[in-house]
Chain A
Amino acid sequence: MKLQLFSLLITLVFLLFFSCRKTEYRTVDKPAYIRLFNSLNIPINVINKDDPAPFLCLFIDPEFDESGYPVGGLIVSDLLDVRNRYASPNPAHAGMSNSPYNAEFPGKELYPTAPIVNGYDLTNWAQILAGKRRFLLMHRPRNTMPFQQLHRSMTSVCVDTTLTLAEGEVYTMHVLYKDFETKETMFYAREESFHKQPFSDDRAYVNFYNLSSEGFWSSPYKGIGDRVTSMEAGIPDTTNVFLSHVSVTVNENDTEVHEFIPGYTKNYVTTLVRDMSGARVAPYHSFPIFIQEGEQIHTNSWQYLQFFSMALRGLEQSFRQGTANNPTRIDIRQHSNFYNDYVYLELTDNPRPESNVNLRTPVERLTLPNLLLNVHSGVNNPQTFGSVSSIEYINGLVYLTTIQRTFPAPIYE
């Protein structure tokens, strides 16, 4: 009997110590949170065809072989493509994209992402050991060959820099062209502050950055090729930003009516100055959620942004206002006097069909998703939430990065 018990015990001990361990959680001690965009967005054209492809491989704390070629590191993230125009509040592209290329880091990488910090969902940020970190980005050809298997002469150094990251801080990083003429590249890192600010959850917040290359706006070559729309002409280094809100209602004929919301039309927001230092977070501008459907927290309203150069100072309020119920969109090519001086942007989920937009002014270049997010939450479908967003203007293109607070999960009845 004793023997049997003993053998049973041995078996149990075996089972206890040698049974399968399936999960090894990757944890990061003392994490800082980083998100990195490849913003080398100047298209390769016949004119600048010598430039290396804006397609990168990221090494953090790289390790090198004897010949000085990067072979590994703390983090290696390959196939980093030029960023998408919209960086959504959740990593939707990770689940839905079938492209092998990654539009941001961490993006689609299977890498420990940041937790919810002060109510903000930071799953788009990667956890990385805080402290002094070296960032090396290598140019590589645009194909799916892993970096280590590439012909070495096909790669070159894009950016190599060292940063000190503080524990628990949130960083947004960019690889940018510093100079439009020489195509010199640079690393940009901004320590975010939104998670420390006392933001109200019934308002939406937005700030603006101009991260354009030195000499882009004044270059005669910027409008060549497909870059002939008003946005491609770009905005000067100093512009005044005006924000209008447009409500959407349905009239008795069942047609949508878009109207400026009184008191929230052509409001001065900020003076946007080109700044590539990353030294400060631009002040956030806020506006309320315009609830229009009684009991429900829901709105269809959208935002209309206008960038005026200093040359148009004082003319903003009278400038092509349109009628109250028809916010004018201007095909800037018909108003060449304002080329370089005026740009508008619509922040709407559903760009309206536009009669005066032709192929040379693609409407998608002048529209971005709404700053107010409509999602199914709790029993409300949809419910409108304010977001915290950054609008980054880089070399003739506008990028929107939206961060959302966590919200109650949908209840299906």
Chain B
Amino acid sequence: MKQIKFKRWSYLLMLAGFFTFSACEREDLLIENERERLLRNAAEFLRNNYDFSLFNAAIEWVGMDESLRDNEADYTIFAPTNAAFNSIGVEFPSDFEKMDRDSLRFMLEYHILPSAVYLSDIGYEQADQLQENLTGRQLHLGRPAQPSTGVGGQFYVNGIQSRANNNNVNLSNGVLHGLDQVLRYRSGSVRDYLEALPEYRNFVALLKRFDYWDMLDEDRNWTIYALSNTVLENRGLSLDAIAELNVAEYDADLLLSVYLHPDQHLFTSDWLVVEARGGVFRRTRYGIYSIDMSGGRITVRVYPSTNTAVRVVQVSNTATNYQVDYKADNGVIHGLGGMVVLPDEAKL
């Protein structure tokens, strides 16, 4: 009897030993496959979203919806909202039918990347994170500094905002980010773009009259603050008046160089993305030009160096969304609401 008891005890011990051994063996915990999320593809998502119905109409009109349905592909779609299209005068889906289909296709391809760039891929406090789109051009992504709490969901594409609650939509074939404005791009140089914008016809004529046009070469970047026809006509510079100007009477540099800034390509969003206290300064022989595009305004100041009593000339206007961030291959064009140096002041 005693023997049996002892035997049992030893078996128990053996069992305990096995438990000790087997307890250490920790297999990776495998949860049954999660229920697969049924993500829609890009074309489906656009078709079923009222806020992108105009963008979708354009996509369908040029026949791009088939490729956006491709589940093997990966896309990033920067989709302008209906409000964005409305602000440039597109009200109805049928409006696209009046447009040239090839240029519309180009415009849409400009908004789409051939790979998925999620919000979490974009770095904080950094402008000009370049991404190549379907047309082979680079889009400039910028994201402000991370707020002290939260992730900071908004970012900018070529100066145009993608809002926190309207981006990073997961699709089965990529990701979609809503945009507040349609991206404004024209293939070619800033000169080509300026000539294509009728509201700056007088400004172009003025630059040509003073032989400034050729200066805007294609070898470097330019940021141009363009004066609208109304601004110039208010100062007596209609097309006819410009043609009759006696160039020799004016200091052309003083009159015009404040609007043309070489080696820069600044978007309005840059002031929100990177640190820009005090704006951008450019030293010239007339003094210091300072450009500030923070707070939704464009402010151009001149601190003249010749005057002993500092007389600051300042022109400031609200950056209305559709007049800024025109992106060309070698620079950016912004509309400016007033002349910094008046024609009379630039007379020799």
Asked if B280 contacts A47 (CB within 8 A), the reply is yes
- Compute how far the CA of A384 lies from the CA of B92 in the bound complex, rounded to whole angstroms: 78
Asked if A11 contacts B13 (CB within 8 A), the reply is yes
- Compute how far the CA of A14 lies from the CA of B115 in the bound complex, rounded to whole angstroms: 55
Per the CB 8 Å criterion, the residue count for chain A at the interface is 36
Note all chain B residues with C-beta closer than 8 A to A143.
Answer: 120-124, 146
Residue of B nearest to A140 (CB): B123
Note all chain A residues with C-beta closer than 8 A to B278.
Answer: 224-226
Q: Is B283 interfacial (CB 8 A cutoff)?
A: yes
Asked if B131 contacts A46 (CB within 8 A), the reply is no
Asked if A142 contacts B125 (CB within 8 A), the reply is yes
Asked if A53 contacts B275 (CB within 8 A), the reply is no
Query: How does the 8 Å CB contact mask read for A223-251 relative to B, with 1 for contact and 0 for none?
Result: 01110000000000000000000000000
- Compute how far the CA of A142 lies from the CA of B127 in the bound complex, rounded to whole angstroms: 11
Residue of A nearest to B3 (CB): A1
CB contact under 8 A between A14 and B17, given known A53-B123, A141-B122, A145-B120 = yes
Residue of A nearest to B271 (CB): A46
Contact of A4 among B6, B16, B117, B264 (CB under 8 A): B6
Q: Is B126 interfacial (CB 8 A cutoff)?
A: yes
Query: How does the 8 Å CB contact mask read for A3-22 relative to B, with 1 for contact and 0 for none?
Result: 11001101110110011100
- Could you tell me the distance in whole angstroms from the C-beta of B189 to the nearest C-beta in chain A? 19
Asked if B126 contacts A44 (CB within 8 A), the reply is yes
Query: How does the 8 Å CB contact mask read for B12-24 relative to A, with 1 for contact and 0 for none?
Result: 0110111011001
- Compute how far the CA of A7 lies from the CA of B7 in the bound complex, rounded to whole angstroms: 9
Note all chain B residues with C-beta closer than 8 A to A3.
Answer: 7
Interface residues in B84-121 by Cβ distance below 8 A to A read 115-118, 120-121
Q: Is A26 interfacial (CB 8 A cutoff)?
A: no
Interface residues in B1-51 by Cβ distance below 8 A to A read 3, 6-7, 10-11, 13-14, 16-18, 20-21, 24
Contact of A46 among B21, B116, B280 (CB under 8 A): B280
Q: Describe B's contact surface by its main secondary structure.
A: mixed
- Compute how far the CA of A47 lies from the CA of B261 in the bound complex, rounded to whole angstroms: 12
Q: Is B277 interfacial (CB 8 A cutoff)?
A: yes
- Could you tell me the distance in whole angstroms from the C-beta of B245 to the nearest C-beta in chain A? 34
Asked if A18 contacts B120 (CB within 8 A), the reply is no
Asked if A45 contacts B24 (CB within 8 A), the reply is no
Chain A CB count within 10 A is highest, among B146, B270, B277, for B277
Note all chain B residues with C-beta closer than 8 A to A43.
Answer: 275
Asked if A11 contacts B14 (CB within 8 A), the reply is yes
Q: Is A49 interfacial (CB 8 A cutoff)?
A: yes
Note all chain B residues with C-beta closer than 8 A to A55.
Answer: 123
Asked if A19 contacts B14 (CB within 8 A), the reply is no
- Compute how far the CA of A153 lies from the CA of B131 in the bound complex, rounded to whole angstroms: 7
Interface residues in A120-152 by Cβ distance below 8 A to B read 140-145, 150-151
Asked if A141 contacts B123 (CB within 8 A), the reply is yes
Q: Is B129 interfacial (CB 8 A cutoff)?
A: yes
Q: Is B346 interfacial (CB 8 A cutoff)?
A: no
Q: Is A50 interfacial (CB 8 A cutoff)?
A: yes
Q: Is B132 interfacial (CB 8 A cutoff)?
A: yes
- Compute how far the CA of A150 lies from the CA of B118 in the bound complex, rounded to whole angstroms: 9
Query: How does the 8 Å CB contact mask read for B261-297 relative to A, with 1 for contact and 0 for none?
Result: 0001010001101111111110100000000000000
Asked if B270 contacts A49 (CB within 8 A), the reply is yes
Contact of B21 among A8, A15, A141, A151 (CB under 8 A): A15
Q: Is B180 interfacial (CB 8 A cutoff)?
A: no
Interface residues in A13-60 by Cβ distance below 8 A to B read 14-15, 18-20, 43-47, 49-50, 53, 55
Asked if B6 contacts A225 (CB within 8 A), the reply is no
Note all chain B residues with C-beta closer than 8 A to A47.
Answer: 264, 280
Residue of A nearest to B23 (CB): A20
Note all chain A residues with C-beta closer than 8 A to B115.
Answer: 151, 153
Asked if A46 contacts B276 (CB within 8 A), the reply is yes
- Could you tell me the distance in whole angstroms from the C-beta of A151 to the nearest C-beta in chain B? 4
Q: Is B325 interfacial (CB 8 A cutoff)?
A: no
Asked if B21 contacts A10 (CB within 8 A), the reply is no
Contact of A20 among B24, B122, B264, B275 (CB under 8 A): B24
Note all chain A residues with C-beta closer than 8 A to B3.
Answer: 1
- Compute how far the CA of A87 lies from the CA of B260 in the bound complex, rounded to whole angstroms: 45
Interface residues in B120-154 by Cβ distance below 8 A to A read 120-132, 142, 146
Contact of B126 among A8, A53, A150 (CB under 8 A): A53
Asked if B10 contacts A4 (CB within 8 A), the reply is yes
Asked if A141 contacts B24 (CB within 8 A), the reply is no
Note all chain B residues with C-beta closer than 8 A to A44.
Answer: 125-127, 274-275
Query: Which 10 residue pairs are nearest across A and B when measured between Cβ atoms?
Result: A141-B123, A11-B17, A49-B127, A151-B121, A46-B276, A142-B123, A18-B21, A20-B24, A4-B10, A53-B126
Further pairs besides A14-B18, A47-B280, A143-B124: 4, Cβ < 8 Å: A8-B10, A141-B129, A143-B120, A151-B116
Which residues of A are in contact with B by a Cβ distance under 8 Å?
1, 3-4, 7-8, 10-12, 14-15, 18-20, 43-47, 49-50, 53, 55, 140-145, 150-151, 153-154, 220, 224-226
Which residues of B are in contact with A by a Cβ distance under 8 Å?
3, 6-7, 10-11, 13-14, 16-18, 20-21, 24, 115-118, 120-132, 142, 146, 264, 266, 270-271, 273-281, 283
- Can you give 25 contacting A-B residue pairs, CB < 8 Å? A1-B3, A1-B6, A3-B7, A7-B11, A10-B17, A15-B21, A18-B20, A19-B21, A44-B126, A44-B127, A45-B276, A49-B128, A49-B273, A142-B123, A143-B120, A143-B121, A150-B121, A151-B116, A151-B117, A151-B118, A151-B121, A153-B115, A225-B275, A225-B277, A226-B278
